[in-house]
Structure 1
Amino acid sequence: MTIVLATIVLAVTFAWQDGFAAFSRAPLAGRIALAGIAVWPLLQLVPLPFPLWQALPGQELRRLTLDLAGSADSWQPLTLEPTGTALCALMAIGFVAFTGWLMQLSSDDFHRLFLVALGLVLLGILIGLLQVVSDGQFPQLQVDNMGATLLGFFANKNHMALVLACSILLFGLVVSRQFGARGQPAAMQIRRRLMGTGYTVFALVAIVVTNSRAGLGLGALAAVIVLLDLARGVALRWRIAAVAVVAALVLAVMSSSAFEVVAGRVDDVSDDLRWRFLEWSWPLAERYGWLGSGFGSFRTLFITQEQLAWVKPTVVNAAHNDYLQLLIEGGVPAMVLLTLLVLSLLPGIAALHRLSRRAQERHALLAGLFIILLYALHSLVDYPLRRPAAWIFFALALAAVYRGAAAGRGDAAGGPQIEAA
C-alpha cells in the first residue's frame, strides 16, 4: 500500500512539474518502450465484449467457469488475473515515473544519487550481517526466517546478491572516481585503485554470505570488469602482484564455511527445479503467447495446469525465466517492447566513442550498460525486475545510459561533461 501511494504521488508530481519532458533525453525506441511498459498492463484491464474475449486463445476454462455463474456473456478484460495485473500496472507506472525523474535531475544531483544508492546497499549489508549473526532472528524483515542468510531489505537472497554485484560496478566505475577526484593524478589513481579493489573484495564476501549461486556468478563478472578497469595503465609487475593478492583472498574466502554452503548449492544446479519450470511452463506460452494472459497471472495459471506429479511442498510463484514469463503474461506486444528497450541502448553504446574518457557521464554510462547486462543475465534464471526493491538499480542504470547518450550527441539535456579521475 505504501508503494502504491508513493507511486501515485510520484507519477502525478512528475507529470505536473515536468510534463514528461525529461523523456526527450531518451532515444525514440526508449520513449516508446517506456510508454508501452506503463500502458500495456492498463490495456490488459480494459473490458472486452464477450464475443471478442471468448474468441481469444486460452479462454475456455474462464468461459466454462463464468457459465456456471450465468456470466459467460459479460464483458471481461484480457487479463485472467485482474487484481494482479492492476498491481503490476501501478508498479510499471512507478518504474517509468522513477526513470523519468532520474532523467530530470541535474548532472550533479544525478551523480550524488549514486552515493545515496551505495549508502542504501551498505545499510542493507549492515542489516544482513545482523541477520547472519542472529540466525535470522533480528531484524526479521521477511515473513519467513531464512536463517543465517544476508538478505538486508530483500525478501529474496538472489536479488540482494544481484544488487551487491551492481554496487561493485557502481563503486568501481563511478563512485571511486568521485572520492578520488582531488590531489595529484598519480595519488588519485592509487587511491581509487585501493578503494575499488577493497570494496570489490568486501562486496564479494557479502555475496557469498547471501548463499546465492546466481549472485556468485554475477558478482564474479562484475569484479572482473572493475578489476580490468582498475588495471589500466598499471605496470605488469604490479598487475601480477595484485592478481596474487586477489587470488590469496579468494582462497581464504573459499575455505570459509559460508562458501562451502553456496558451493554445495552450485553442485546441485543440474537438479534445480527451475529447469523443469521451463518445460512445465512452455504450454502456457503456446496458449497465451499472442496477447498474453495478463501481468501477474502466472502463478494462478500454472496451478490450473499443474500435474499431481509436479506438486511439491512449495508453490511455483514464477517461471524463473523472465523472458518466458514475459511472453506468457505480456504476449508478443511485451516482447516487442523488450526489443525496443534493447535497441534504445545502442545510442549509449555509440556515445562511448564520443565522450571523453575522463567525463563523468561516460563512467556512469559504462556502469549503466554493465548493470543492465547483469539484469539481463539474471533474468534467465530469476525475476529481478518483478520486485520494486530490485529494479531501482535497473532504473538508475537505464537513466545513466540515456543521459550518457544525450551527452554524447551534444544534447543540452545531457548536461555538461564533468571531468573526473
Structure 2
Amino acid sequence: MGSRQAAFAGRDILRWSLVATLLALLLAAWLGGGVTEDSTSVDEWLQMLALPVLVLATAMLLQDPPRDRLVQAGLVVAGLIVLVPLIQLLPLPAAAGSDARNSLISDLGQAGVAGTTLRWSLAPFATEQGLLFLVPGFAAFLAGLALPARFRRWLMLALVMLILLNIPFAFFQAGLPADSAERLYQYPDGSAAFGGLFINHNHHATALVVGMALCIGLGVDSWRRRGGSSSFGPHLLYAAAALVCVMTMPLTGSRAGALLVVPIFVVTLIFVGVLPIVRFLRTRPGKGLALGSMVVALICLWLGFDSLAAVLVQDPRFPVAAATFRMGVDYAPWGSGVGSFVQAFAQNEPNLLLIPAYANHAHNEYAEWWLTGGIPAMVALLAGLALFAVAAWRIYTMQGRSGSAVFAAACWTAILAALVHSLVDFPLRTTSLMTVESLLAGMMLASIADGMRGARRRSRAADPKVG
C-alpha cells in the first residue's frame, strides 16, 4: 500500500511540475513570441524553456500510454511534422535532385566547388532553425495530451486571460507617439497597428477569434454545470469576454479576422450542442432558412464579384502565393528546405512581383509548406487534415453531451480559425500562436478520448447487455 501511495504522489508531483512549466512556457511565448521572424534570440530562450515541458510530458505519456486510436494518430502526425525538417538535413545524392538542384550543382562546379553532395535542404542552417522553431509547439502538444481532464478548464481559462490582457496593451501601444521608446514595435511608416504583443495585427485578430471560441466553450460548460440556471454566474462573464473579443476585432483592421468571426461563432455553437442545426434544418422553417441563406449568399457573391476580383489582383499576397506554389513544382519532390522561403523565393521571384521589401512569407501556409517541404511535407499536411476531419466527426457526434465534448469542440473551432486564416496569412509562424494552437490540439484529442470513453460507459449503464 505504501508503494502505491508513493507512486500516486510521484505522479501528482509530475503533473503539477508539468502544469507549472507549461504555464511558464505559455506566458513567455505570449510575451516574446509575437514576432514573425523565423528565428530570434527570444525564440532560442523559448525553445530552451520548452525542453522541461517536453521531458515531463513525454515521461507522463510513457507512464500511461494513450490507448485511443485518434490520440495515437495525433502522435504519429506530430512526429511526421517534426520528421520533415529532420530528414531534410540528411545528404541527398546529386542524381536524385530536381532541375533547380542540378542547376545549383552546376553553378557550384563552375565556381570551383566540385563533387558537392547536397542535403535535402538547400539552406541547412535555416532548416535547423525551422526544426528548433517547432520545439515549443511540439512540447505544448504533448503536454495537452498528457494532462488529465481536471487541468484543461484552467488551461483554457489561462489562454483566455492572455488573449484578453493583450487588448488593453494594444490600446496602450496604439496611443503612443510614433517616436516613443515605449513602443514594442517600430513600423517604417510610423503607424501604430492594433496588435499589442503581436507585430502583425492580423495575428492579433486570429487570437481574438480563438479567444471567442474558448469563451463559448467555457461558458457553455459552466452553464451546464450549474444545471442551466439563468442566474448570474461565470457563464455570463465568459459571454461578456466573448463579446469583448468580437467587438475588438474591427480595431485590428484585419479583413480575414472580420470574415472569420461569424462562421467560427456559428460552428462553435453547433459543435458544443447549443445549436442543433441538423435537427432544425429538417423542419420546414429550417429548410426555408437554408434556402433563403443560399439565395442571399449567391446574390452577395454576384454583387461583390468585381470587388472580390479587384482584391485578388491588387493584394500582392495572392500572386505571391500562386508564384510560391509554382516554385514548389520546380523544387519537387524534396522541397527547398523548411525555413528557406526567403532565399528560395528571392532567387525565383517573377519580375512582376518585385517589391522594395523582401517577401518574408508566402501569406499562404500551405503553398509555403509545399515549396519548402516538398512531397514529405504534403504527406504530413494531408495526414494532419485527415485527422482534423475525423476529430470533427467525433466531436459532432458527441454534440456537447459532456464537459470533455464541449472543450473538444471549442478547441477544434479555435484550431479551425488558424487553419483557415493560414490560407491568406501565416499566424502559425509566430511562436505564441503556434504554441497556443498546439496545446489546443493536444487537449482536443485528449478531450475526445475522454468523451468517447464516457459515452461508452453511459451506454453500458443504460443497457447492461451492451459489452
TM interval, shorter chain, is 0.7 to 0.9
User: Hey, what does 1:10 align to over in structure 2?
Assistant: 53
1:390 aligns with 2:446: no
User: Hey, what does 2:205 align to over in structure 1?
Assistant: 161
User: Hey, what does 1:120 align to over in structure 2?
Assistant: 162
User: Hey, what does 1:206 align to over in structure 2?
Assistant: 248
Which moves more between the two structures, 78-87 or 274-283? Answer: 274-283
1:170 aligns with 2:211: no
SS in 2 for 1:124: helix
- Whole-angstrom distance in 2 between the partners of 1:370 and 1:107: 19
**How many angstroms does 1:380 deviate by?**
1.0
- Whole-angstrom distance in 2 between the partners of 1:30 and 1:337: 11
Structure 2 residue identity aligned to 1:369: W
Indicate if the aligned counterparts of 1:14 and 1:20 stay in contact, CA closer than 8 A. Answer: no
Inter-CA distance 267–163: structure 2 relative to 1 (3 Å threshold): farther
1:367 aligns with 2:410: yes
1:285 aligns with 2:328: yes
Inter-CA distance 191–266: structure 2 relative to 1 (3 Å threshold): farther
Indicate if the aligned counterparts of 1:7 and 1:90 stay in contact, CA closer than 8 A. Answer: no
User: Hey, what does 2:370 align to over in structure 1?
Assistant: 327
SS in 1 for 2:358: coil
1:408 aligns with 2:454: no
Inter-CA distance 265–282: structure 2 relative to 1 (3 Å threshold): closer
- Whole-angstrom distance in 1 between the partners of 2:356 and 2:344: 18
1:302 aligns with 2:315: no
- Whole-angstrom distance in 2 between the partners of 1:355 and 1:230: 8
**1:29-67 alpha-carbon deviations (Å, 9 max, x no partner):** 322211111112111011234x345x3342134213422
- Whole-angstrom distance in 1 between the partners of 2:181 and 2:221: 34
Question: What is the correspondence of 1:19-418 to structure 2 with a 5 Å cutoff?
Answer: 19=62, 25=68, 26-49=70-93, 51-52=94-95, 55-135=97-177, 137=180, 139-144=182-187, 147-173=191-217, 175-177=218-220, 180=223, 185-188=228-231, 191=233, 194-225=236-267, 268=311, 270-352=313-395, 355=398, 357-410=400-453
**How many angstroms does 1:333 deviate by?**
1.5
Which moves more between the two structures, 334-343 or 134-143? Answer: 134-143
Indicate if the aligned counterparts of 1:47 and 1:78 stay in contact, CA closer than 8 A. Answer: yes
Structure 1 residue identity aligned to 2:136: G
- Whole-angstrom distance in 2 between the partners of 1:20 and 1:126: 42
Indicate if the aligned counterparts of 2:193 and 2:200 stay in contact, CA closer than 8 A. Answer: no
- Whole-angstrom distance in 2 between the partners of 1:14 and 1:231: 33
SS in 1 for 2:338: coil
Inter-CA distance 272–21: structure 2 relative to 1 (3 Å threshold): farther
**How many angstroms does 1:287 deviate by?**
0.7
RMSD: 3.2
SS in 2 for 1:282: helix
Structure 1 residue identity aligned to 2:87: L
Structure 1 residue identity aligned to 2:98: L
Inter-CA distance 179–266: structure 2 relative to 1 (3 Å threshold): farther
**1:322-379 alpha-carbon deviations (Å, 9 max, x no partner):** 1111111111121111121122234433433664734111111111221222122111
**How many angstroms does 1:144 deviate by?**
3.1
SS in 2 for 1:363: helix
**How many angstroms does 1:86 deviate by?**
0.7
SS in 2 for 1:77: coil
Inter-CA distance 411–38: structure 2 relative to 1 (3 Å threshold): farther
SS in 2 for 1:409: helix
Inter-CA distance 329–24: structure 2 relative to 1 (3 Å threshold): farther
Structure 1 residue identity aligned to 2:175: V
- Whole-angstrom distance in 1 between the partners of 2:421 and 2:132: 23
- Whole-angstrom distance in 2 between the partners of 1:382 and 1:105: 31
**1:165-194 alpha-carbon deviations (Å, 9 max, x no partner):** 010000012x22455567563325x75664
**How many angstroms does 1:269 deviate by?**
5.7
Identical counterparts, % of pairs: 23
- Whole-angstrom distance in 1 between the partners of 2:356 and 2:343: 17
Indicate if the aligned counterparts of 2:121 and 2:336 stay in contact, CA closer than 8 A. Answer: yes
Structure 2 residue identity aligned to 1:368: C
**How many angstroms does 1:273 deviate by?**
0.7
Indicate if the aligned counterparts of 2:193 and 2:252 stay in contact, CA closer than 8 A. Answer: yes
- Whole-angstrom distance in 2 between the partners of 1:135 and 1:57: 51
Higher RCO (Cα < 8 Å, 6 or more apart)? 2
Indicate if the aligned counterparts of 2:194 and 2:252 stay in contact, CA closer than 8 A. Answer: yes
Structure 2 residue identity aligned to 1:161: A
Structure 1 residue identity aligned to 2:122: L
Which moves more between the two structures, 322-331 or 222-231? Answer: 222-231
TM-score (norm: length of structure 2): 0.72
Inter-CA distance 349–226: structure 2 relative to 1 (3 Å threshold): closer
- Whole-angstrom distance in 2 between the partners of 1:161 and 1:57: 40
- Whole-angstrom distance in 2 between the partners of 1:287 and 1:320: 19
- Whole-angstrom distance in 1 between the partners of 2:331 and 2:87: 16
Indicate if the aligned counterparts of 2:219 and 2:236 stay in contact, CA closer than 8 A. Answer: no
**How many angstroms does 1:199 deviate by?**
2.6
User: Hey, what does 2:3 align to over in structure 1?
Assistant: none
Inter-CA distance 110–313: structure 2 relative to 1 (3 Å threshold): same
**How many angstroms does 1:232 deviate by?**
5.3
Structure 2 residue identity aligned to 1:80: L
